[in-house]
Amino acid sequence: MSKYKPLRSRGAQFSVLIEKRAVWITLILFIVCLAAMIVSTGAGSQFITPLNVIKTLLGKGEPTYEVIIMKLRLPRIIIAVLVGSSLAVAGAVLQSIIRNPLASPDVAGITEGASLGAVLFIFLFGGTVPIHWMPLTSITGAFLITGLLYILAWKKGVDPLRLVLIGIGISAAIKSISYMLVISGPLQLAQRSLTFMTGSIYGTSWDKDVLTLLPWVAVLLPLTWLQTRNVNIQALGDEVASSAGAHVQKHRLLLLALSVALAGAAVAIGGAIGFIGLMAPHMARKLVGSSFGSVLPVSALLGAIILLLADLAARTAFLPNDVPAGVLTAAIGAPFFMYLLYRNRNRY
Amino acid sequence: MRVVYLFTLLGALGAIMIASIAFGVTDIPLGTVWESLTQFNGSNEHLVIRTTRIPRALIAASVGACLAVAGAVMQVMTRNPIASPSTLGVNSGAAFFIMLASVWLGVSGMNAFTWVALIGAAISGGIVFLLGSVGRDGMSPVKITLAGASMSAFFASLTQGLMLTDGKMFDQILVWLVGSVAGREMAQLQAVWPYMLAGMIISLLLSRHLNVLAMGDDVAQGLGQSTAYIKLFGALAVILLAGASVAVAGPIAFVGIIIPHIVRYFIGTDFRWILPYCAVLGAILLVAADLGSRYIAMPKEVPVGVMTAVIGVPFFVYIARKGRRTS
């Protein structure tokens, strides 16, 4: 038996090479992710043993646990998984199409745009319009900013480095505009918005958050995976890709749109949680190589695990304070970014 | 001619500072402003002028001058057109250390804050400088900018985390964190001006050497300059200027990028002239931005840091587009 097994649709619109090693790694990570979910569900001001967590999830636990787990903790865990994996996949797509290991939704200003959209939503419609509409405003914000960025960075084509530099400048400005909104509003909204800008999945609930985010992720993630062939060919560089018959610019735009939508939806619920879109794809490529068919599931799982652990640490290590998870991801992510910069020190 | 222009600009600075003292939520006639200085009678208007308006104008002017000069020195030291205390993480490092000291260590008082800010600026700037200069080709603009952006993100996130968990004085700290010169007292300026002055003097003394350094490290060394010392003193000046500014006004962005570019466009490349012009124009920009910020959302005030960010971004984009990739 060979190491690879191809999976193709008729006419090869969709095509993935499935690597055995990658399948195993995906399975292992899936189990790790499940374990992290269970441990994380049990941890908190009231500790519940993993066994009891499993019992409760299967419907055979004690009623006191059932309230804590089903009502309070499980939504947060699910959100961590959804947000973490969306951000990670958004980053994986972005890194492939920009062909720059340092690209990520937060560096490129996508996260900032989304969070400005969401903060605007909180201030303009807070309380009057159902929260289910929030992903729409944050995705719109993300699209507008990305569009602006693309236009500003365009000079006979988009040079990735120029895109990143301009992204840094734009996100600084957006950040201060968001700050201004936060300051000018009432104090209660201010605290909520600031938590949002840091990125936190505190106090999430089933109907408000999980049901809002789930449809987006459930549609966008498989859609992105179906684009595997296009992502892989983008990574070869414009010349090779177009001589292989790919519509490079068209695909790049579509992929960018997918990435922005994923990041925007995740930010709408989790806030501007940084650096996951940077870290997870890197780790994934280290584990399974650079074929996007395996990078996507692996980075999604890694993103979920990172956010689960960051949130676990953020809410248990500083009791009674509930630190926003975004603080922890930044605390791990920024040194990671510097390490990457150091690794690539001879490239720039 | 350059002297004449410099004095004209100084005159403009004086005029705009007087405007900044007279205009605001309540406009005060110039006669009253004059009276409050010469014959203080303790009336409400006189009090407003003496305790809030004048300190505010003076702080805006000195912070603007410091940030602009710091930006100019950094740009030549790093050979990076978009270097400034804000993009290279110096400001956010100083801000984080102030937060940390006040929340966890219970430090208070302007003197202590200034020292903490200086230490923060030095640590953050040092890491960015180091990371930006590793590698075969030495310092490159892209590397140092990326390092600065990640340091800024790192410190900003930690600062927000601290703020959210502490909660005391939440709104005041928030305004400070964007950068604002409102509601400051004279005592705050008095605590930092020695550092600012020291930074200015070091920069001015360095200006001749910066001219040489601007030709590139190799040329400078070939001409007999000990570049390491010059860079060390340059870094010291930047830390003093930026740290002291942050301690009094918070991390105000983009002044350090905008002004040096304007000045170089008109004045050329001689740092003996660039630095004084930067100081005066930086002061004008910040006082003007502060004055403008009072009129955007009357009767509320927009923090001046937001104003400079919004003015600064077109500049930033222009420079990033224009800049050739050189290593």
Give the DSSP letter of residue A132: G
- Per DSSP, helices labelled H in B79-109 are 90-103
Is residue A89 predicted with pLDDT exceeding 90?
yes
Is residue B133 predicted with pLDDT exceeding 50?
yes
Query: Percent of chain B, pLDDT > 90?
Result: 24
Tell me the C-alpha distance between A231 and A93, whole Å.
Answer: 7
Q: Is B179 left (phi over 0), alpha (psi -120 to 50) or beta?
A: left
Number of folded domains that form chain B:
1
Give the lowest-confidence range in A235-249, A262-276, A283-297, B87-101: A235-249
Burial class (CB in 10 A: 0-12, 13-18, 19+), A148: middle
Which CATH number do you get for residue B130?
1.10.3470.10
- How many angstroms separate the most distant Cα atoms in chain B? 67
Q: How many CA atoms lie within 13 A of A195 on its CB side?
A: 20
Is residue A190 predicted with pLDDT exceeding 80?
no
Q: Which of A153, A170, A341 sits opposite B131 (nearest CB)?
A: A341
Is B290 contained in some domain? yes
Contacts of B145 in chain A (CB under 8 A): 165, 168
CA-based nearest residue in chain A for residue B86? A172
Tell me the C-alpha distance between B224 and B118, whole Å.
Answer: 31
B87:A172 CB<8 A: yes
Compute φ and ψ for B195, nearest 5 degrees.
Answer: -65, -45
Tell me the residue range of the domain where B29 lies.
2-322
Tell me the C-alpha distance between B211 and B268, whole Å.
Answer: 11
- What pTM value is reported for the model? 0.83
Tell me the mean pLDDT in the region A131-152: 85
In angstroms, the separation between the Cα of residue A174 and the nearest Cα of chain B is 9
* A219/B171: higher pLDDT: A219
Give B256-309 pLDDT, tens digit per residue: 888 998 898 888 888 899 999 999 999 999 999 999 888 887 777 788 888 888
Is B26 contained in some domain? yes
Is B327 contained in some domain? no
Q: What is the pLDDT of residue B325?
A: 45
B221 in Cβ contact with B227 (< 8 Å): yes
Query: Percent of chain B, pLDDT > 70?
Result: 95
Q: What is the pLDDT of residue A8?
A: 73
* B97/A207: higher pLDDT: B97
* B44/A263: higher pLDDT: A263
Read off the pLDDT band of A348 (50, 70, 90): low
The sign of the dihedral angle between the CA atoms of A319, B94, A342, B236 is: negative
In angstroms, the separation between the Cα of residue A166 and the nearest Cα of chain B is 6
Q: What is the pLDDT of residue B215?
A: 85
Residue A38: which of A6, A5, A81 has the closest Cα?
Answer: A81
Is residue A1 predicted with pLDDT exceeding 50?
no
**Cα angle B283, B287, B291; round to 5:** 170
- Per DSSP, helices labelled H in A126-200 are 134-153, 160-184, 187-198
Tell me the mean pLDDT in the region A304-330: 85
- From chain B residues 235-264, the ones with a CB under 8 A of any chain A CB are 253-254
By the CB < 8 Å criterion, does B133 face chain A? no
Read off the pLDDT band of A294 (50, 70, 90): confident
- Per DSSP, helices labelled H in chain B are 2-22, 30-38, 44-48, 54-78, 90-103, 110-133, 141-166, 170-178, 186-213, 217-222, 227-249, 255-267, 271-296, 304-322
Give A47-84 pLDDT, tens digit per residue: 888 888 888 888 777 788 887 888 888 888 999 999 99
Tell me the C-alpha distance between B252 and B86, whole Å.
Answer: 7
Q: What is the pLDDT of residue A10?
A: 66
Cα B39 to chain centroid, rounded: 34
Q: What is the pLDDT of residue A347?
A: 67
Tell me the C-alpha distance between B73 and B67, whole Å.
Answer: 10
- From chain A residues 258-287, the ones with a CB under 8 A of any chain B CB are 274-275
Contacts of A170 in chain B (CB under 8 A): 313, 317
Tell me the C-alpha distance between B241 and B249, whole Å.
Answer: 12
Residue B246: which of B92, B69, B61 has the closest Cα?
Answer: B92
Amino acid letter at A119? V
* A42/A88: higher pLDDT: A88
- Domains of chain A, by residue range, sit at 19-343
In angstroms, the separation between the Cα of residue A164 and the nearest Cα of chain B is 9
CATH 1.10.3470.10 fits domain A19-343: yes
Q: How many CB pairs under 8 A join A and B?
A: 156
In angstroms, the separation between the Cα of residue B308 and the nearest Cα of chain A is 9
Is B302 contained in some domain? yes
Is residue B326 predicted with pLDDT exceeding 60?
no
Q: What is the pLDDT of residue A11?
A: 65
Give the lowest-confidence range in A151-155, A201-205, A278-282: A201-205
A191:B142 CB<8 A: no
Tell me the C-alpha distance between B114 and B101, whole Å.
Answer: 11
Q: What is the pLDDT of residue B167?
A: 64
Tell me the mean pLDDT in the region A230-253: 77
Which of A176, A181, A343, A345 to probe the B interface (max B CBs under 10 A)?
A176
